C-alpha cells in the first residue's frame, strides 16, 4: 500500500512542479505559487493519510513575512508546515536537490532557498536571499538542528541560521511538531497514516546568539504536544 501511495505522491508532485515552472514568468511576488504549494502539501498529506491538528495559528496572518523556527523530526515536517502554517512559507534546502529534474528547478522557481554548506561565502549569500524573501512577504522555516533527528529527540540548535533573524529583524515564531517522527522516521521513505500535532508558539524577539538558541530550543521542547492514540 505504501508503495502505491508514494507513487501517486511522486506523480502528483511532478505535475505540480511543471505547473510551477509554467507560472513562474507571471508569478508576481510568488502569490500564485504559494497557493499552489499549499494545495500540493495538503493533497500529499491526504494521500498519505496524515491528519494534522494545529494549535496557535489564529494569532498570525499569512501576509507578513516571519521566521518560523522548528524542530525537525521527519520529511513530513515540510509538507505539514507548507500546508498549515499561517504563512506563505519557504525552506532552506541543500543545493544538491537542484540536480533533480523538474523538482529542483521548481523549488528554485517558487522561491525556496538553496544553500551550499561546503562554502561559507555562498552559504551566507543564501541566508541573505532568505532575508530578501521575508521582505517580499514570504516566511522562512528554519530547522536549526541542521538535520532530522535520529531518535525523535530535539537536538542542539546550530547558531548559524540565526543570521537571518539578525539581518531581517523579522518576527520569530517557535513551532513544535509531534508525531511526524513516528509516522516517517529518518532512514525510510515509508510513511504511516496517523495524527500529527503542530503547536505555533508566541513570537519572540531575537537576542544574542548563544543565549537565544538555547532559549528558543527550550520553548519548542516545552510546547511539544504528544499525539494521543
Q: What CATH number is given to the structural domain containing 212? A: 3.40.1130.10
Cα angle 162, 168, 172; round to 5: 60
In a domain, 228, yes or no: no
pLDDT at position 76 is 96
pLDDT at position 29 is 85
pLDDT at position 25 is 94
Q: What's the rounded mean pLDDT across residues 117-127?
A: 80
Residues ≥6 apart with Cβ < 8 Å to 85: 57, 68, 139, 141, 175, 198, 200
Which residues sit opposite 55 in a β-bridge? 199
Total number of domains in the chain: 1
In a domain, 227, yes or no: no
What's the pLDDT band for 130 if we cut at 50, 70, 90? Answer: confident
Cα angle 198, 202, 208; round to 5: 115
pLDDT at position 34 is 95
Instruction: Indicate if the pLDDT at residue 223 is higher than 70.
Output: yes
In a domain, 49, yes or no: yes
pLDDT at position 127 is 82
In a domain, 16, yes or no: yes
What does the mean pLDDT of the chain come to?
A: 90
User: What grid cell was written down for 73?
Assistant: 523530526
What's the pLDDT band for 208 if we cut at 50, 70, 90? Answer: low
Instruction: Indicate if the pLDDT at residue 73 is higher than 60.
Output: yes
In a domain, 46, yes or no: yes
pLDDT at position 117 is 75
In a domain, 229, yes or no: no
Range of the domain at 134: 2-222
Nearest to 223 by CA among 154, 157, 167: 154
Max avg pLDDT among 51-55, 111-115, 141-145: 51-55
pLDDT in tens, 139-172: 999 998 888 999 999 998 887 667 888 888 888 9
In a domain, 66, yes or no: yes
pLDDT at position 33 is 95
pLDDT at position 128 is 84
Instruction: Indicate if the pLDDT at residue 229 is higher than 60.
Output: no
Q: What's the rounded mean pLDDT across residues 24-33?
A: 91
In a domain, 166, yes or no: yes
- What is the pTM assigned to this prediction? 0.92
Amino acid at each position: 500500500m505504501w508503495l502505491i501511495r508514494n507513487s501517486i505522491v511522486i506523480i502528483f508532485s511532478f505535475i505540480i512542479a511543471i505547473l510551477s515552472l509554467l507560472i513562474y514568468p507571471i508569478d508576481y511576488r510568488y502569490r500564485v505559487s504559494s497557493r499552489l504549494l499549499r494545495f500540493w502539501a495538503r493533497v500529499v498529506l491526504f494521500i498519505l493519510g496524515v491528519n494534522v491538528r494545529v494549535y496557535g495559528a489564529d494569532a498570525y496572518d499569512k501576509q507578513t513575512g516571519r521566521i518560523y523556527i522548528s524542530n525537525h523530526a521527519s520529511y513530513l515536517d515540510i509538507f505539514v508546515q507548507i500546508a498549515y502554517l499561517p504563512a506563505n512559507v519557504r525552506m532552506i534546502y541543500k543545493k544538491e536537490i537542484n540536480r533533480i529534474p523538474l523538482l529542483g528547478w521548481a523549488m528554485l522557481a517558487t522561491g525556496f532557498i538553496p544553500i551550499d554548506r561546503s562554502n561559507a561565502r555562498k552559504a551566507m549569500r543564501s541566508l541573505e536571499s532568505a532575508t530578501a524573501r521575508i521582505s517580499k512577504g514570504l516566511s522562512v522555516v528554519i530547522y536549526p538542528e541542521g538535520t532530522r533527528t535520529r531518535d525523535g529527540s530535539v537536538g542542539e540548535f546550530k547558531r548559524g541560521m540565526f543570521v537571518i533573524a539578525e539581518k531581517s529583524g523579522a518576527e520569530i515564531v517557535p513551532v513544535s511538531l509531534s508525531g511526524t517522527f513516528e509516522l516517517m522516521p529518518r532512514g525510510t521513505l515509508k510513511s504511516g497514516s496517523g495524527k500529527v500535532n503542530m503547536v505555533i508558539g508566541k513570537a519572540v524577539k531575537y537576542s544574542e546568539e548563544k543565549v537565544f538558541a538555547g532559549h528558543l530550543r527550550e520553548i519548542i521542547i516545552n510546547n511539544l504536544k504528544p499525539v494521543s492514540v
